[in-house]
Structure 1
Amino acid sequence: MEKNLDKRFGFLVADVGRLSGKRFDELSRASLDLTRAQYRVIAYLAYHGEMNQAGLADLMEVAPISAGRLLDRMEEGGWIARRPNPQDRRERMVGITDKAGQALDAARQVGDLVTGVALGGFTEAEAEQFMGFLQRARANLSKPLPE
């Protein structure tokens, strides 16, 4: 078992995520109107499409009550829209607005800057290969565990 944290997959992935988020915050303070958590909501909804609040909370790894408060603020600001689920009246479906789509474009620009910093010194081929490795790792972790 590897004890050096710099060679542990989970530690490296978590630490790169932490540092990437920190750099995103630094670069976005002057240009973006939303918090990183709010941008995560918009990004998840843009990627996965409209979904119920519980599913969104699960993706964000937060309690449903915390997600509800965040979504309340975002709905008040016109970033998201909630509507009843026609198949289950107990659920509320969440989707992004046009305003959020425009904000996501600005956040992507900041994300591109962060990516440029993170992948500084990589060749284009290395960067593509690295992204491919991450996509494969994500796909592997998305599969059910063998019985």
Structure 2
Amino acid sequence: MTDKLEVTERLFDLYHCVHRLVNTTMAEEGVSLARSKFLFYLSSLGPCRCADIASALGFSPRTVTEAIDGLERDGMVVREPDPEDRRAKIISITDRGRVALDAALEPRHRTIEALFSALDECERTELFRLLGRLRDKASEIDENRHSLAA
């Protein structure tokens, strides 16, 4: 019988290993996993303010501002005045940012394909189901924790 703590440690270990592997393969193409999240968001939803990005991705405003600063320096995003709020800026992905994102997504997909080739379709389906159950339980625990604190 496998202890719950052992399973949790194995899950954390897998997460960190996959994160490192995917990040490394993407960074070799010029865009880290973290930077790709910002570019993907801007590519999918279009121009928006830093506060919108922070809220959508669950990052602190400072983290978003620092990331956008770096992406702007590299020519992957551009800041323009917000016509509705002169204190704010609208962030947009540039053509260079789109090219970099597309280039980084290919090794990401290749790495994920290689990783999941260890499982057959039935095993992937079962893993997906089990991870969903754990995610649902984690959400329930989190909601209960928040309602008790309120």
If each structure's helix is expressed as a fraction of its own residues, which one has the higher value?
2
Q: Secondary structure at the match of 2:118?
A: coil
Tell me the alpha carbon deviations over residues 85-130 of structure 1, each in whole angstroms, 9 at most, x when there is no partner.
Answer: 2222232221211111111111111111221233122234654776
What does 1:90-129 correspond to in 2, within 5 Å?
90-124=87-121, 127=124
Inter-partner Cα distance in structure 1 for 2:42 and 2:15: 20
Paired residues of 2:25 and 2:108 also in contact (CA < 8 A): no
Deviations 1:28-81 (A, max 9, x none): 44x312333222211222233322101212344332123212212211221001
Instruction: Give RMSD over aligned pairs.
Output: 3.4
**2:131 & 2:42 partners in 1: Cα distance?**
21
CA distance in 1, matches of 2:129, 2:76: 32
Partner of 1:51, secondary structure, is coil
Measured in 2, the distance between the counterparts of 1:95 and 1:131 equals 34
What's the TM-score once normalised by structure 2's chain length?
0.68
2:25 is matched with 27
Alignment of 1:33-72 (within 5 A): 33-72=30-69
Larger Cα Rg: Structure 1 or Structure 2?
A: 2
Q: Partner of 1:5 in structure 2? A: 5
For 1:86, the equivalent position in structure 2 comes to 83
Q: Which runs of 5+ in 2 are unaligned?
A: none
Identical residues among aligned pairs (%):
23
With over 3 angstroms needed to count, the CA separation of the structure-2 counterparts of 1:18 and 1:80, relative to structure 1, is same
Q: Secondary structure at the match of 2:59?
A: coil
Task: State the TM-score, normalizing by the size of structure 1.
Answer: 0.69
Question: Unaligned stretches of 5+ in structure 1?
Answer: none
| Greater alpha carbon shift after TM alignment, 60-69 vs 108-117 | 60-69
